[in-house]
Amino acid sequence: MKQKILLVGPCAAESEQQVVDTAAAILPIAAAHPQFTTYYRAGAWKPRTSPTSFQGFGEQAIPWLIKAQTATGLNVVTEVAEPKHLLAAYNAGIRNFWIGARTTANPFLVQSLADTMKELASTSYIQIGLGDIEKGMFFIKNPISPDIDLWEGAIRRLRDAGINNIVAVHRGFSLGERNATAYRNAPCWSVPIELRQHCPDLPILCDPSHIAGRRDLVEEVAREAMLLDMDGLMIEVHPHPEEALSDAAQQLTPEALIRLLDALPKVTSSEPDQELTGLRRQIDEIDDEIWALICRRMEICSEIGRYKAARHLPVLQQNRFESLLKRRRIWARKNGLSTEIVDRIMQAIHEESLGKQL
């Protein structure tokens, strides 16, 4: 099985004791799960939506992280959002960083972090002669909105600065009222899947804590991520989650982390056997039929287009589309399909049909 990455620790560094004790609780968990390379996370600077929320202890927390790193040997990771964060953390001895969702969305900030890293690399690395491993990792979260170009753009900025050890982190998307899931952030799995198509060599982790937003839902998201063969997990762990200064609702105790890890499905990447090959063949045949039917539907749409043009009728007849959609939603519910898939497919077919008629 391919080595996976686990990034665990509290949302925020809250005190020296909390940082050091949590790391000590995580160390044996890391040792008991060698299928993961484990990193220890804790945010010193917390980018919070509200200015009245806890903003993190900032630079004051950095020595606590170093203490935890020295005491346990776990590699520490912290969030950096601007060059002064990166410099403070780097100069203290931290080599692994994550860029948060709100920062990924800002090309100026990402570029300034990339430039700072490049400068650091050209001075300290070359002078000290550190190897690639010691250069550490850059974890980059998806931007708040499901905009894959923004995510890839940020990754490109880091790569262009010569940073090679990049890992993407899928933490879900803020969709406001359009979020039809029970989660804090909609997973929109198609986005990390598309990123994997565009960047096949880039490891992509899932952050089920920030997707779920509630500790009782973290495990099911983590499970889905493993079934989708993501490259690892970032999970928030706190010794007393209810008392956490940020993200109290979603953090797990170290004991709950053990239960979650032990319940994860074991995914292997063996060659498909006869049974799977047979099932896939059936899928391919059904797809052939679906596409042949779509073609036939479009031919009829073109005919309708000619009919409407000859009689000066409008191409878009909203009532007709809405009645089709309504009927299909009722049908979907009866047949165990979600109305979301009906809406998405019907919208796509309708758009293509309008195109034909125009």
d(CA 48, CA 54): 7
User: Which residue's CB comes closest to Mn ion?
Assistant: 11
85 binds ligand PEP (CB under 6 A): no
CB of 82 to ligand PEP, least distance (A): 14
d(CA 349, CA 220): 33
11 binds Mn ion (CB under 5 A): yes
170 binds ligand PEP (CB under 6 A): no
Q: Which of 13, 42, 65, 101 binds ligand PEP (CB under 6 A)?
A: 101
# of chain residues touching ligand PEP (CB under 6 A): 9
* Burial annotation 231-268 (CB, 10 A radius, 16+ → b, else e): bbbbbbbbbebeebbbbeebbbbbebbbebbeebeeee
For 63-128, give the secondary structure using H, E and C: HHHHHHHHHHCCEEEEECCCHHHHHHHHHHCCCEEEECHHHHCCHHHHHHHHHHHHHHHHHHHHHH
CB of 49 to ligand PEP, least distance (A): 9
8 binds Mn ion (CB under 5 A): no
210 binds ligand PEP (CB under 6 A): yes
13 binds ligand PEP (CB under 6 A): no
Closest CB to ligand PEP among residues 100, 146: 100
238 binds ligand PEP (CB under 6 A): no
Q: Which of 43, 56, 143, 146 binds ligand PEP (CB under 6 A)?
A: 43
Could you tell me which stretch among 7-15, 72-80, 282-290, 317-325 binds Mn ion (CB under 5 A)?
7-15
The dihedral formed by the CA atoms of 268, 269, 272 and 275, expressed in degrees to the nearest 10: 20
* 141 interface partner picked from Mn ion, ligand PEP, none, CB below 5 to 8 A per type: ligand PEP
- Residue whose entry in the numeric block shows the structure tokens 């409008």: 314
* Among the listed residues 127, 99, 93, the one whose alpha carbon sits nearest the alpha carbon of residue 112: 99
Q: Which of 247, 261, 305, 332 binds Mn ion (CB under 5 A)?
A: 247
The dihedral formed by the CA atoms of 330, 334, 338 and 342, expressed in degrees to the nearest 10: -40
Closest CB to Mn ion among residues 11, 81: 11
Contacts to Mn ion by CB under 5 A: 11, 247
Contacts to ligand PEP by CB under 6 A: 11, 43, 47, 100-102, 141, 171, 210
